[in-house]
């Protein structure tokens, strides 16, 4: 119990003094996770919608695989990305290992299936509702997908926020591909792992509370911006 | 939303615009001891090198060097280091400093090792009493040193029973496990002094010359990995064996207890 109180105190102290290191690693956490979210959403949302609209031969298998990939173990993704980007690996010449870019690549791989799968679930129901209308209007496939994405944007927000949550709290993969280098690839989760290793539980927990607060703020901020759950609107 | 994009773009550019960057893989004991926090700012000031540390076990550090993912390594396992140089992955091996390993355990000392004067006796006593013992189990320098000690005591760690916990984790994580289990553990003195969660653990045995722990610096061979910054690695080596590093390493202490002893000599 004392450790938890000390953690709260450490979190308060870090925030009140606007600790330079804390600001740096928090911004890097946001930079990596938001960029990964942006890229993953650009790929996964149209793909998930397409899966709802389009009928093709292996559709059921693709959906099953996608659902299974939601549970992709981050540490394995990290290891594979590491081996790909290592100087002795196929993409070694790019020199991307131990950079924020490598961390973004790993996170995109981890969260894309999650976003695509939730998108598909949401879009399937919407498509059942819109099916007759869009067919009778002779909407092209592109128009159908665009309509569904636009009208289902609230549900897609949930998909994106789930992806963001998985990305910002992730440590296994980014520890391997980022290396937790001070002032280069250290983010909140890897800093927590480091401080735990030093036995400094108060600071580790303090950083943990900052991470939770940050995730909450981002979620609330996006909800406020998009105007969901407001009176008279859905 | 556009503001978020420009902000992330700016962050990207700012990380790309750094001056001279060099990567070095170091052992967890080097980082957890806190010495890195002292040396890095001095290196930046004296050499204008942004030294990026990858904190891993000696086994993984050597792998990173072999793959060419770092420019130099700073580790502490002589057998593994000489093999690294012999296979041509490193250009040479330069000794920098040393500290010593210590055996930690419950304050009550159920295996009664505190009375011993030789580390082999202490190891045999632990194996006979079979109290909980935490091993790094990750091929790190400390792990290899521990295995060598068991061997010197005519024991084989592979045949130990349930009391022997091979955690496969870094020095700090293994110390946390030992604190939780109230177990015996071999650690380097620096990590122990800098460790915040000591719980009921105490330093029970130290001082045998067999516990000597030498750290060495090995630049990665640019003939094997043409992209490594060997120029920076050589600059750093010259600095690490020089007078400023000597003063900082010898002067670094926690609770008035010095942690490392500088012992670099001219090659």
Q: B96-117 pLDDT, tens per residue?
A: 999 999 999 999 999 999 999 9
Query: Could you confirm whether domain B19-98+212-262 is CATH 3.40.190.10?
Result: yes
SS3 B81: helix
Mean pLDDT throughout B204-220? 93
Q: Which two tokens stand for residue A154?
A: 């609230």
pLDDT at A85: 94
Between residues 176 and 235 of chain B, which touch chain A (CB distance below 8 Å)?
Answer: 176, 179, 194-198, 225, 227
Using 70 as the pLDDT threshold, list the residues of chain A that sit under it. Answer: 1, 227-234
Integer-rounded Cα Rg, in Å, for chain A is: 20
Sequence-ordered list of residues with C-beta below 8 angstroms from that of B110, at least 6 positions apart, any chain: B129, B131
Mean pLDDT throughout B207-228? 92
Please give the mean pLDDT across all residues of chain B.
Answer: 89
Interface residue of B12, B53, B196, B221 to substitute, partner A, most A CBs within 10 Å:
B196
Q: How many CB atoms lie within 10 A of CB B46?
A: 13
Between residues 28 and 47 of chain B, which touch chain A (CB distance below 8 Å)?
Answer: 28, 32, 40
pLDDT at A5: 86
Q: Are residues A196 and B176, on separate chains, in Cβ contact within 8 Å?
A: yes
CATH class belonging to A24-182? mainly alpha
Q: Are residues A98 and B8, on separate chains, in Cβ contact within 8 Å?
A: no
CATH architecture of B100-211: 3-Layer(aba) Sandwich (3.40)
Mean pLDDT throughout B240-266? 90
Residues of A in contact with B69 (CB under 8 A): 86-88, 97-98
What residue has token string 């490193």?
B90
Nearest CA in chain A to B70: A87
| Location of each CATH 3.40.190.10 domain in chain B | 19-98+212-262, 100-211
What residue has token string 């061979």?
B221
Size of interface A-B (CB pairs under 8 A): 75
pLDDT at A66: 93
Q: Are residues A182 and B197, on separate chains, in Cβ contact within 8 Å?
A: no
pLDDT at A18: 85
- Alpha helix (H) ranges present in chain B? 2-16, 28-32, 35-47, 58-67, 78-86, 119-129, 141-152, 171-181, 189-193, 230-240, 243-251
pLDDT at B16: 46
DSSP B26: E
User: Domain-by-domain residue ranges, chain A?
Assistant: 24-182
- Given CB atoms, is B15 within the 8 Å cutoff of chain A? yes
Q: Place B69 in a pLDDT band, splitting at 50, 70 and 90.
A: very high
User: Which residue among B40, B67, B196 places its CB closest to the CB of A200?
Assistant: B196
Give the separation between CA B170 and CA B28, rounded to whole angstroms. 6
pLDDT at B11 over 70: no
- Given CB atoms, is B121 within the 8 Å cutoff of chain A? no
Residues of B in contact with A179 (CB under 8 A): 52, 54
pLDDT at B26: 93
Give the separation between CA B197 and CA B180, rounded to whole angstroms. 9
Q: Which two tokens stand for residue A57?
A: 């031969």
Nearest CA in chain A to B7: A31
User: Which residue among A98, A100, A180 places its CB closest to the CB of B23?
Assistant: A98
Contact (Cβ atoms closer than 8 angstroms) between residue B94 and residue B264: yes
pLDDT at B5: 55
Q: In angstroms, how far is the first alpha carbon of chain A from the final one? A: 42
């Amino acid at each position: 119990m004392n450790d938890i109180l000390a953690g709260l105190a450490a979190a308060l102290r870090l925030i009140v003094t606007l600790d330079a290191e804390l600001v740096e690693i928090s911004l890097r956490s946001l930079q990596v996770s938001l960029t990964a979210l942006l890229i993953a959403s650009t790929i996964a949302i149209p793909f998930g919608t397409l899966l709802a609209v389009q009928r093709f031969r292996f559709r059921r298998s693709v959906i099953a695989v996608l659902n299974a990939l939601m549970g992709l173990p981050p540490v394995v993704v990290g290891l594979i990305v590491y081996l790909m980007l290592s100087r002795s690996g196929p993409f070694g010449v790019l020199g991307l290992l131990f950079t924020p870019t490598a961390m973004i690549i790993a996170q995109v791989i981890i969260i894309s299936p999650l976003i695509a799968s939730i998108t598909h679930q949401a879009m399937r129901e919407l498509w059942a509702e819109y099916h007759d209308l869009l067919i009778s209007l002779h909407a092209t496939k592109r128009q159908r997908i665009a309509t569904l994405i636009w009208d289902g944007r609230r549900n897609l927000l949930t998909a994106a926020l789930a992806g963001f949550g998985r990305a910002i709290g992730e440590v296994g993969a980014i520890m391997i591909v980022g290396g937790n280098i001070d002032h280069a690839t250290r983010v909140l989760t890897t800093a927590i792992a480091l401080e735990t290793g030093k036995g400094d539980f108060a600071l580790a927990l303090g950083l943990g509370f900052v991470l939770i607060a940050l995730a909450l703020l981002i979620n609330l901020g996006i909800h406020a911006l998009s105007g969901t759950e407001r009176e008279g609107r859905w | 939303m556009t503001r978020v994009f420009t902000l992330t773009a700016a962050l990207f550019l700012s990380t790309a615009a750094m001056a001279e960057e060099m990567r070095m893989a170091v052992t967890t004991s080097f980082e957890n001891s806190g010495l890195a926090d002292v040396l890095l700012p001095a290196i930046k000031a004296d050499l204008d090198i942004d030294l990026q540390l990858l904190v891993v076990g000696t086994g993984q550090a050597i792998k990173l060097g072999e793959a060419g993912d770092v420019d130099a390594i700073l580790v502490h396992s002589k057998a593994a280091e000489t093999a690294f140089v012999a296979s041509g992955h490193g250009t040479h091996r330069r000794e920098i400093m040393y500290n010593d390993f210590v055996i930690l355990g419950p304050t009550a000392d159920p295996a009664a090792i505190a009375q011993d004067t030789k580390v082999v006796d202490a190891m045999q006593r632990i194996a006979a009493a079979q109290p909980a013992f935490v091993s790094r189990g990750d091929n790190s320098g400390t792990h290899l040193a521990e295995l060598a000690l068991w061997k010197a005591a005519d024991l084989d760690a592979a045949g130990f029973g349930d009391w022997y916990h091979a955690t496969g984790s870094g020095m700090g994580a293994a110390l946390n496990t030992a604190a939780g289990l109230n177990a015996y553990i071999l650690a380097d003195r620096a990590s122990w002094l800098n460790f915040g969660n000591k719980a009921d653990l105490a330093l029970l045995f130290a001082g045998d010359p067999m516990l000597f722990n030498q750290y060495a610096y090995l630049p990665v061979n640019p003939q094997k990995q043409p992209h490594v910054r060997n120029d920076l690695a050589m600059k750093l080596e010259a600095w690490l064996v020089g007078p400023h590093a000597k003063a900082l390493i010898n002067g670094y202490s926690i609770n008035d207890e010095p942690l490392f002893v500088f012992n670099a000599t001219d090659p």
